[in-house]
Amino acid sequence: MLDREYISRYLNIEAKSDLPLIAVVGPTASGKTAKAVELARMVNAEIISADSRQVYRGMDIGTGKDISEYGDIQVHLIDIRPAGYKYNLHEFLSDYYQAHAEIRARGKNVILCGGTGMYAEAVLSGLRLPEVPENPALRQQLQSKSLPELTAILAGMKTLHNTTDVDTRARAIRAIEIETWYIDHPDVAKIADRSTSVRPESVIFMVDISRDERRRRITERLHRRLDEGMIEEVQRLLDSGIPADDLIYYGLEYKYVTNYLLGRLSREAMVSGLETAIHQFAKRQMTWYRGMERRGFNLIPLP
């Protein structure tokens, strides 16, 4: 249970609608959703999810949606795209700002909660990615380029923080198209660059637990999800016509279980490999949050 006195050091918990943006971040299995829900009840808030996989319908057990945890607290940006779709940062920011405006219009405070560090930091940086029109001439010019060539071109235009922009030729061409447009529109580019965008007023809570406790929870949760039907969930997605490669693209649970169902992994190898991969994922999440601190964000421990 959250300590009201502790929370009141950082927030006016009696405020009804004028609190700064509140973020609750932390690694997988840290219990951040439960903390965010409790905090939402305390400060009259609704929650916006910052999870890159919980946007997909039908991907419930593997992504740990745990909808029942939210109870009477309204949550946004969950189940907003079909499984098989490839959601991206641009869409997330557009959806986030729309949800944020709607929540504020209802006189509620906003809590951003999720483990996708790139999404959370983009919001906390004040990043906005405007709609960029197509450039047919540029697309024609790039059409003969291979994916490695396109990746090299994009890397020469910006730092590649992740592989999402270059996982296909079409996405790489679009990314180059966007960066080219920013070069021609420097004023707009400022709000699309973390180094020049204006950060919103915010309070960021970091839910963390000891490494040993985190590992214990990850292992326990994995076996619980298997018992709850995670393998059957992935089989239903495959049976619905979603290509195996699209599920593998999502990584972690969907990658390992799909490969098991395709006969590429034994059940034992699937479980042990997935457990190791989730531990590594949690470690990368912590590295991202420590990086946020180095980039000037104040992450307040949330016990």
DSSP letter at 126 equals T
Q: What would the pLDDT profile of 259-284 be if each residue is shown by its tens digit?
A: 999 999 999 999 999 999 999 999 99
Q: What share of the chain is helix, strand, coil (3-state, %, to 5)?
A: 50, 10, 40
Which pair of tokens denotes residue 208? 């963390």
Would you write out the chain's pLDDT as a tens digit for each of its 303 residues? 899 999 999 999 999 899 999 999 999 999 999 999 999 999 999 999 999 999 999 999 999 999 999 999 999 999 999 999 999 999 999 999 999 999 999 999 999 999 999 999 999 999 998 888 999 999 999 999 999 999 999 999 987 766 667 888 998 999 999 999 989 988 878 778 877 889 999 999 999 899 999 999 999 999 999 999 999 999 999 999 999 999 999 999 999 999 999 999 999 999 999 999 999 999 999 999 999 999 999 999 998
> Would you say 301 and 206 are in contact if contact means Cβ atoms under 8 Å apart?
yes
Helix axes of 211-228 and 267-294: crossing angle, nearest 10 degrees:
140
CATH architecture of the domain with range 4-128+198-209+286-301: 3-Layer(aba) Sandwich (3.40)
Provide the whole-model pTM: 0.89
Q: What is the pLDDT of residue 195?
A: 78
pLDDT of residue 130: 84
Q: How far apart are CA 268 and CA 290, in angstroms?
A: 34
pLDDT at position 162 is 64
The structural domains of the chain, with segments of one domain joined by +, span 4-128+198-209+286-301, 136-191, 211-283
The pLDDT assigned to 193 comes to 80
Q: How many C-beta atoms surround the C-beta of residue 57 within 10 A?
A: 14
In angstroms, the CA 72 to CA 80 distance is 19
Angstrom distance (rounded) from CA 151 to CA 157:
10
Q: Distance (Å, rounded) from C-alpha 262 to C-alpha 241?
A: 14
Angle at 269 between CA 264 and CA 275, to 5 degrees: 120
Report pLDDT digits (tens) over 18-34.
999 999 999 999 999 99
Handedness of CA 266, 271, 272, 274 (dihedral sign): positive
Closest CA to 106 of 44, 149, 156, 179: 44
**List of residues 6+ apart from 287 with CB closer than 8 A:** none
Question: 219: which residues sit within 8 A by CB, 6+ positions away?
Answer: 275
CATH number of 211-283: 1.10.287.890
Beta-bridge mates of residue 301: 206
Distance separating alpha carbons of residues 187 and 271, to the nearest angstrom: 49
